[in-house]
Amino acid sequence: MDEVDRLRTGLVEFTRDLVRIPSVNPPGDVSEAAEVLRSKVEALGMEARLVEPRKGRVNVLGELKGRGGGPTLLFNGHTDVVPEGDVALWSVDPFSADVKEGWLYGRGSSDMKGALASIVTAIEAVVNSDLELEGSVAFHGVADEEVGGRFGTRYLARKGMIRADMGVVAEGSVFDGVIALRPSVRGVCWIRLQTMGKAAHASHPAMGVNAVLSMSKLLLALRDLRLDLGHHRYLPDPTLSPGTVIRGGVKTNIIPELCTAEVDARTIPGVSAQMILREVEGVIERLGAEDPSFAAKAEIAASSEPAEISVDHQAVEVARKAAERVVGYEPPLRGGWGSNDSSYLIHDAGVPTICGFGPGDHALSNAHGADEKVRVQELVDFAKIYALMIAAICGGGSVPDC
């Protein structure tokens, strides 16, 4: 912990270096950020390799090998970030990584380049402390998380490239300044809608059927749809966000014959993507029965399953004790709204994984919004927590009592 404090300035500067790299997805080119991470972990004596399933989608796989006989602990985080949006809404340059009043600002600061820096700093502190490890520490800085992980964690898991006994996805788990632990994660189901109309001259609208207006009717009906599909101890109930993307029409004076839109749905254990699709199709059938001119269809564009780890698992127990040692309280178990790569680690790679444990405040960091930021002290606290987890799990020791 003292070594992490000594590395505090370097931790902040490394976070700033990562945030200054605009690894926006789409388009998804994270090669520069991956190279920075690769150079850093190799300098710590870790074995590292790059896996690039598609040009620019570069994954960094690093390993700090122990002497053998102990478990492998995997830390996972992603290098891609969502687009910055309207820059006029930001009070700072989205990629300047400004630090003010204890916060580090910038796109990706909380989601999740700050976490990547905390992980690497924790490993650096362990190396500098000459801690002898029985087990190994694996580090994955992955691409493509923000668009479903097709060329990131999902690819690595389905190609058999992930081998670990337990894992941590270091997504944000701070709630209003309180560090929590996320043992479960929601699944995601992206649905593509299409409404079909009839083209006609816009000067005579009665001759056509406006597919955009049909889509408007469908989206409003989905907005009012109440999903009564079950509850979970930690996670929010399933949600439906219709019309996150919409496209329709080809020319101002033509009644549009086609319109497409996308729906973001989030699921919980026991609720599948097919169940969501059936709910949407039920709305389409009802609208078609009410209006013979209404025609639409829906299909699943992409999905990932919800996932969870037993709260009695060693990784959870050690993480909670390590956090208590660092911040003075045992973190509560909470569920976040979003989805992440822990789904692929658990279901595809078979690695029991904490589904979210890292810097980034759900209430205050404004991830995916303007002025995204992460609290500097959270970066330091989690670097200490991760280092203690490595010591306890890979070092064959235990977390010191408070």
Q: Under CATH, what is the fold of the domain 187-304?
A: Alpha-Beta Plaits (3.30.70)
The domain spans of the chain are 2-185+306-393, 187-304
Positive/negative CA dihedral, 80, 85, 89, 92: positive
Residue 282 makes CB contacts below 8 A (sequence gap 6+) with none
Say whether 276 sits in a helix, a strand or coil. Answer: helix
What burial letters (b/e) apply to 66-75, b meaning 16+ CB within 10 Å? beeebbbbbb
Q: Please state the pTM of the whole predicted model.
A: 0.93
How far apart CA 125 and CA 385 sit, in angstroms, is 11
- All residues at 6 or more sequence positions from 2 whose CB lies less than 8 Å from its CB, including other chains: none
pLDDT by position in tens, the chain (length 402): 999 999 999 999 999 999 999 999 999 999 999 999 999 999 999 999 999 999 999 999 999 999 998 999 999 999 999 999 999 999 999 999 999 999 999 999 999 999 999 999 999 999 999 999 999 999 999 999 999 999 999 999 999 999 999 999 999 999 999 999 999 999 999 999 999 999 999 999 999 999 999 999 999 999 999 999 999 999 999 999 999 999 999 999 999 999 999 999 999 999 999 999 999 999 999 999 999 999 999 999 999 999 999 999 999 999 999 999 999 999 999 999 999 999 999 999 999 999 999 999 999 999 999 999 999 999 999 999 999 999 999 997 677 554
Question: How would DSSP label each residue in 312-332?
Answer: TSHHHHHHHHHHHHHHSSPPP
pLDDT of residue 310: 98
What confidence score (pLDDT) does residue 402 get? 42
What pLDDT was estimated at residue 396? Answer: 74
Q: Coil, strand, or helix at residue 292?
A: coil
Domain 2-185+306-393 and domain 187-304 have a common topology: no
CATH class belonging to 2-185+306-393: alpha beta
